[in-house]
C-alpha cells in the first residue's frame, strides 16, 4: 500500500462513517442534520467512571499487543506486514500509552490536591 492509496482509503472510511451518522458533508453554512435521540426506555445502565477507565486501559493494552504482534510478524519475514505498518502501529501504541500516563498523572495530582484540602 503506497501513501496516496492509504490516504484515499482513510478518506473513504471517514466519508462512510459520516454518512452512517447522518452528519452533513457540506461546509460552513450547511444545515445541520439532527441526530436521533437516545432510547431512554431501554434498561441500559450508563457506564461509570471505573468502566470507562477499565475500557481505556484495555484499549491501550490491545494497541500495544497488536504492535507487538506486527513487530514479531515483520521480524519473521511475513510478506503481508510492511515496516511502515509496523512503525505506524508502534507509534499508535506509544501515543496511547503516553496519553494514558498523562491521565494517570492528572488523577494522582487531583487526589493529592483533595488530600491537602483542609476541612
Q: Measured between alpha carbons, how far is 88 from 57 in angstroms, rounded to an integer?
A: 20
- Would 61 be classed as within a structural domain? yes
Task: Name the residue range of residue 76's domain.
Answer: 49-119
Residue matched to cell numbers 439532527: 34
Structurally, the chain folds into a number of domains equal to 1
Q: Measured between alpha carbons, how far is 80 from 11 in angstroms, rounded to an integer?
A: 22
Cα distance from N-terminal residue to C-terminal residue, the chain = 61
Q: Measured between alpha carbons, how far is 112 from 106 in angstroms, rounded to an integer?
A: 10
Q: Which tens digits make up the pLDDT trace of 50-106?
A: 888 899 999 999 999 999 999 999 999 988 999 999 999 999 999 999 999 999 999
Q: Which of 10-14, 34-38, 89-93, 107-111 has the lowest mean pLDDT?
A: 34-38
- Would 102 be classed as within a structural domain? yes
Give the three-state DSSP class for 39. coil
- Per the prediction, the chain carries an average pLDDT of 80
* C-alpha torsion 99→104→110→114, nearest 10: 170
Amino acid at each position: 500500500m503506497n501513501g496516496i492509496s492509504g490516504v484515499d482509503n482513510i478518506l473513504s472510511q471517514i466519508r462512510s462513517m459520516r454518512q452512517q451518522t447522518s452528519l452533513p458533508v457540506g461546509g460552513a453554512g450547511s444545515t445541520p442534520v439532527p441526530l436521533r435521540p437516545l432510547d431512554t426506555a431501554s434498561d441500559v445502565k450508563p457506564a461509570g467512571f471505573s468502566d470507562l477507565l477499565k475500557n481505556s486501559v484495555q484499549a491501550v493494552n490491545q494497541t500495544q499487543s497488536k504492535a507487538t504482534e506486527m513487530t514479531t510478524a515483520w521480524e519473521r519475514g511475513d510478506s503481508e506486514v510492511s515496516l511502515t505498518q509496523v512503525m505506524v502501529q508502534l507509534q499508535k501504541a506509544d501515543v496511547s500509552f503516553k496519553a494514558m500516563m498523562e491521565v494517570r498523572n492528572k488523577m494522582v495530582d487531583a487526589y493529592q490536591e483533595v488530600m491537602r484540602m483542609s476541612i
